[in-house]
Every structure is written in C-alpha cells, then in structure tokens.
Structure 1
Amino acid sequence: MKLQLGTIEDTAKISEVHSASIQSLCKNDYGMEQIESWTRLLVPGIYEQALLEKILIVADLEDQILGFGILDHVTSELSATLCFGNSEILSIGIENHSLFVRGHKPVIEGGY
C-alpha cells in the first residue's frame, strides 16, 4: 500500500469508495432512503473542493483506492479518514509537521 497526495483523477474513485463504505457500514442501522440521501451527495466535485482548499491523501494498493483523508493545513485537523473492505487498518499520525502512516514513509514531510 502506498500513500500519496490525491489528484483530480482520483476523485471519481474516492467517490465510489466513500459511497460503498457508507452503504456497507450503515445497511444494518439505517433505511435505504437515508443511505441514498447521504451517498447521492458524494459526487467527485466535493473532493475537488478538498483539493482546492485542503490536502487530500489517498491510500492506494495496486491502483485501487482503499481509503482517503482530508487534512486542513490551517487547523491541522485530519478528517474523513476512511478505509474500505479488507484493507489494513491505518494508523495516521502527524509528527514534526510531517503526515505519515505508521510503518510507511511520510506522505508530506516538513510542513503542510
């Protein structure tokens, strides 16, 4: 698995992964109407906005996006971290102004 900065080309795959995750995780607790109301908002354009305003990170394995995170470089808040399917659990950290996943090379080194 590798971590990399997200690109405009990744937004469609991120949208699919995010929607599939909500459908899978919520199917036992919410009705289909509620799930569809959430997932219909997850169009590639909302991730494009993250590319403009924040830092979008994707977890990729063999050209399949397993998860993503959005880092707000102003507040240092990492949000929307998500892994889908049988992917390994990610332990994401920020240390010395570098964003990294434990056991992997830093995604962003020396500041964000």
Structure 2
Amino acid sequence: MSRKIPEKWQSSVKAAKATQVAFDLDERFQMHIRREALESGLSPSDRIREILGLPVNKRPKRPRLTVSLSGEDYQALAEKYGLDASQQLEIKRKLMEDLVIHVDKEQQ
C-alpha cells in the first residue's frame, strides 16, 4: 500500500533525499573555504556548492549565530548572571550582551 505525501510536505521530499557529504581536508583548506564563505556572506556549505558549480540556495532572511546549551550550561550561566536556570530568556539576553561587549572590545 503506497501512501501519498501531503502537498504541504512535497517541498521537503527533495531535502529528505539529499545526502550530506563530509570532507576531511587539511585544516589550511578548511580555514580558507570558511574564510571565503564568511567574506561572501555564505555558509561554508553554500561556498562549497559555488566552488563545485552547483546552485546555491537563497541566503537566509535572518542569518544568526547559534550555540547548543545543555541544562548544565543553563545552570552555569544562571550562576554567572545571578539568575535562576529556568529564566532562559533572561539568560539569552545576558548572553547577547556579553557577545556585543566581546565584539566591541575586539574592534577597539
């Protein structure tokens, strides 16, 4: 019995069939491609696609930095900021302040 994929999921079918390929290149090559990507406003993956002559997806509308935080990370950050670990939005606000301060110091 074959089930039809709902229309709203059709656009995800191609992505689901894609295979991620990892490259074990010398660090010098990795850094060069990452630097090119950063300078071009692209992800390293999109820069590799450009180099290979493949189509590149449109840039995300809201490019952002990400970090994964565990429960232990939230606890450590809560202690650092004098907050409760459950105050995740306030912790995020404090993290953003720290990142801005870091960049401002580096650029002086």
> Max radius of gyration: which structure?
2
How does the TM-score come out when normalised to structure 1? Answer: 0.24
Q: TM-score of the superposition, structure 2-length normalised?
A: 0.24
Structure with bigger strand share is 1
Which structure is higher in helix share? 2
Q: Which protein, 1 or 2, shows the higher relative CO under an 8 Å CA cutoff with sep ≥ 6?
A: 1
